[in-house]
Each structure stands twice: as C-alpha cells, then as structure tokens.
Structure 1
Amino acid sequence: MFERSYYGGVSNAGAIGVCFLVAIIGGILLYFLFLTPKNDKKFTGFMGWLYDFLAFKKLLVEAILKVIYLISACFITLLGIVSLFDSFVLGIAIIVLWNIILRISYEFLLVLIIICKNTSEINKKISGKDTSEADMFVSQVEIPKSVVEQFTAKTSPTTTAEPEVFCKSCGQKMKIDSTFCPNCGQKNE
C-alpha cells in the first residue's frame, strides 16, 4: 500500500493524509468522550493524571522554562569562564551581562505565566468554583476583604429598605424606632 523510500521510511503523501485524518477523528473523540466537564474528578490514578494533563489543568511551561533557564545560565557562565582566558573584559561581560539579560528575560516570561494563573484563580474564587488546583499557582494573590465585601454587596440580592425618617425640627436622619433625635433631642412623633 505505502511506497518505501531509499532509507526505509514511508514517502507516500497518502500516508500523511491518512495519519492526519485519523488524528482529527481521534482528537475529536477524545475531546467529546473523555474531556467533558462531567468527567472532571471522575478518574483516579493514571487516568486522572491523563485527564488533568489533556485538560491543561497542570501547566508544564513553567517547569520547562525553569530547567531551560538553569541550563542556559550554566552554559553562559562556563562560556564566560572559558572567555576569561582569551579576554578578561569579554569573559566578565559574558558572565555578568549575559546572565542578567537571561535572568530578566526568563523573569518576564514567568511573570506572564503567573499573571495568567492568578487571573484564573481570581476568576474561580469570584465565581465560587472549586479552587483545589490553587496549589499549582506560583504566587497567591490575596483579595482584600474590602474588595470582596464590595463585590458581594453589589451581587447580593437587594433587600427591601426601611423607610427613612427625618427629624421635623432639624432634618437629621433618624432610625425608624428612635424616640428622640440624636442631633437635637426633639421627640419623634
């Protein structure tokens, strides 16, 4: 069915088309049969890990970036040490400047990732969804109580307000059950 190339691999364009078609069908089936929200927390063990992995609940980008940073920093430092023997100024410049540039670049990328994670966590907290995945966040954002109170006050159902009562003598607002005005002392009738 498939034609073999000189090196033993398949060189038929039809094979690529078949692989692409099977991949599309497989991806759609996986999405609609396995990754539906009703299956969340349904699986345990390897299947639970696979579900979380395919649903992007645990992001690998952060860990991969950290490993790449460490490898890059070691390489730059070693390159700088080797360059010290050729030119002292160049070696110091490589060790110091390139490591600073590398660090700033990776910190910028990690800050973007942290912003995305924290935004997701805030959305979950505001919407009242489960935040059991909160452990995976690098930096926790604590929402001030005043902001939470403002948000809940705006979104809580409105209650019927008590009628407002004012003192006939001075115009001060009073509680409805007050006998005397707190401002002028006039008796409430």
Structure 2
Amino acid sequence: SYFLKRSLPSSRFRFTSWHRLEEHDVRGDQLTCPRVREGPSEDEHSLRDDDIFLRNGRRRREDEEQRWEERLQENWENCVELNLSYQDLGDPYQLENFTRILRRLIRVERLQLVDNTLQDLSSVRLPRCKSLNLHRNHLTSFSQLPKVPEIQHLCLSENSISSLGELSLLQTTSIQSLTLRLNPCEFLEDYRSR
C-alpha cells in the first residue's frame, strides 16, 4: 500500500499548491485525499505571491487572506449531502476549522466523515442529519457523537467504543440502523441483545 501511494504520479505534487501546477498527468482517482479548493483570482494568478506582497503591502494581503478564508467556508449551511472523509486533520488549526465547518451544516441530511481521526464531536449539532458515517475514527463513547435528533442510520464501525452504557443517548432519536462492527464493545457478553 505504501509503495503504491509513493509510485503514483500525484506524490511528486504532494506539497505544491494546485494553482502552481501547469501540465500534469494526475487524475482525481490517483489522489489520496482529494479536496475542493477555490482558486485565486486571475490577477493573483498572473503574479507571484512575493510580487503581491511587495506591491500591495501587508494590509492588503491580510484582507485577502481573510476573504479567502470566508470564501472557503461559504454556503455550508445549504449542503444536504456532503462527503468530508479522509481530510488528514493532523494539525490543531485544521481540526478547529473542520469543526467550525461541521457546526455550519444545519441542513445536511447525509454526511460522510470516514477516517478523519475524530475524537469528540459533542460540540456539533446536526439538526437534520438522517445518515451519518463515522467509520474508522477515534471515538470512544456515544457521548462524543454530535447531536443528531433526526438520525436514522449511524455507522460507528472501527472506532474504540468499549461500552454500551451510553446507548440510551440514542433512545430519543428515530434510529433504524446502528453499525458497531470492529469496536471493542463487540466482545461484551450481552452485545447482541442490547
């Protein structure tokens, strides 16, 4: 698996900003964690970052960075179906920004958050979410789940949930299916009946 990832043509672009790439033979299915990013304006694209900084000064750059951040997060409130899996949230600022985006998903109904090393989503509320996939994260209890009052299908496979004591937190929902495959709680004596 490691060798295959290293041998793909995308590995040579690993630390390159996409707008600096000109011609390449990389396809979207070869990327480990494809993400959608908004590109720079045509004026910015024609100038190098250093030229922008020197010509326009620090203040303009800070204003542009603030607008850039706002554009990256716009319209999250209207998402109904969203896949934010494999986001490689290695730094605290990435996780903080990711959580900020999750809090804005007030209309999402189907959400995929697979393999994001998430540990606690209890500060997030997803009021309309009916299907939530948290496969392969680092959740250890049901109390770390987001508030999902409308949940019907919840996948928590390959996490670290060892107890079913907080299962009652889902009783007020209309849950129809709960997947706990490959969690330590599978080895509890009364796992199936509970």
The structure with higher relative contact order (CA 8 Å, sep 6+) is 2
TM-score interval (norm. to shorter): under 0.3
In our comparison, the structure showing a higher alpha carbon Rg is: 1
TM-score normalised by structure 1 residue count: 0.27
TM-score normalised by structure 2 residue count: 0.27
Structure with more of its chain in helix, by fraction: 1
